[in-house]
Amino acid sequence: MKTLPLMAVMSVTLLSGCDRAPNARDICNDTPALCTDLNTSGWCRHNRAAVIHARYQFQSTADDAHRFNEIVELEQYVECMSNIAQMVSRTPGKSIEQERSLFYLKGLESLESLQKATSKASHPGLSLYHWTRFNDTDALERFLSAESKDQIEGLLLKRLTGIYFTKSNPEKAKRYLLDVVEANPQAARLDQELLTQLGFVMNELGEHQAAFLFTYLGQRNNNLASPTALAQHLGLPTQQTEALVQRADEMANAMRDGEPIRERFNL
């Protein structure tokens, strides 16, 4: 079973901003049915809030884009609660362990129910989800049909679509991933996985200097390789390394300032 990349999901919150309203507490007070299967303690609160907002938006709009957000966020919530449920409490008694297990099981039941309810959905995000999770070839066909009609919208779906096309159509992957970068360059500058993914795509396209820029920025905080070693790996003359590092720093500064980078850096 394929999976949606965890860091891709987590990074979308940073890229999208956090200006959703009303807040999760108000939604639960006004519409308790949206929250009864989710814990009320501090566990997994970010995932929990994301699920609640997605449910609220779907209830308000009936737009399956919010169902897609819900199923992805609910899966992350269930994974988080699974980890929490396995924790051993230092508090005497088993009430805390039982509560953790209860909400993990409730979340899992909700996830399985939502997976079943969306198995035939036409939304490209839900279709891609069912392909990656269950090898559903009909879902893959629906996703590819929607993509061919330019129906890919939203940062998470664009990012996952870019990842999907990385090997089979790197030109498409480049376009989708650059869309994600330019939606919020300031956040993308700090998104190591996104930058590294773009570096890989650029290398697949034979755009080795661009591959250096993104890969260098994506890995420079991890010290995975020296700039010279990276240049050698990408088949670039090592004497270009200093100029490439300077160019990468210029691109990082442009992203920090919220500037679009495609035209300026000939991407």
Based on the fold, state whether residues 89 and 183 are members of the same structural domain: no
Residue 125 lies in a domain: no
Residue 175 lies in a domain: yes
Q: How far is CA 160 from each of CA 29, 121, 217, 224, rounded to the nearest angstrom?
A: 34, 18, 21, 25
- Average pLDDT of span 128-154: 97
Based on the fold, state whether residues 31 and 107 are members of the same structural domain: yes
Final residue before a domain boundary, out of 90, 120, 150: 120
Q: How far apart are the first and last CA of the chain?
A: 34
pLDDT category of residue 17 using cuts at 50, 70 and 90? very low
Distance (Å, whole) CA 81 – CA 86: 9
pLDDT category of residue 18 using cuts at 50, 70 and 90? very low
Residue 148 lies in a domain: no
pLDDT category of residue 222 using cuts at 50, 70 and 90? confident
Residue 100: domain span: 6-120
More confident call, 125 vs 99: 125
Residue 179 lies in a domain: yes
How is residue 60 written in tokens? 């308000």
Residue 158 lies in a domain: no
Q: What percent of the chain has pLDDT over 70?
A: 89
How is residue 51 written in tokens? 């699920």
Final residue before a domain boundary, out of 66, 87, 120: 120
Lowest mean pLDDT segment, chosen from 128-132, 196-200, 216-220, 246-250: 216-220
Based on the fold, state whether residues 173 and 104 are members of the same structural domain: no
What pLDDT score does 88 carry?
Answer: 62
Based on the fold, state whether residues 174 and 228 are members of the same structural domain: yes
pLDDT in tens, 74-95: 999 999 999 988 876 655 556 8
Nearest to 132 by CA among 2, 229, 233, 262: 2
Based on the fold, state whether residues 19 and 76 are members of the same structural domain: yes
What pLDDT score does 83 carry?
Answer: 92
| Burial call 167-200: b when 16+ CB within 10 Å, e when fewer | eeebebbbbbbbbbbbbbbebbbebbbbbbbbbb
pLDDT in tens, 28-54: 999 999 999 999 888 899 999 999 999
Q: Please say if the pLDDT value at position 58 is more than 90.
A: yes
Q: How many domains is the chain built from?
A: 2
- Average pLDDT of span 107-125: 98
Based on the fold, state whether residues 115 and 170 are members of the same structural domain: no
Q: Please say if the pLDDT value at position 56 is more than 60.
A: yes
Residue 170 lies in a domain: yes
Residue 134 lies in a domain: no
Residue 188 lies in a domain: yes
What pLDDT score does 25 carry?
Answer: 92
pLDDT in tens, 158-217: 999 999 999 999 999 999 999 999 999 999 999 999 999 999 999 999 999 999 999 999
Q: How far is CA 163 from the centre of its chain?
A: 10
Based on the fold, state whether residues 174 and 232 are members of the same structural domain: yes
Final residue before a domain boundary, out of 97, 120, 143: 120
What pLDDT score does 214 carry?
Answer: 97
Nearest to 3 by CA among 167, 132, 91: 132
Output the average pLDDT for the chain: 91
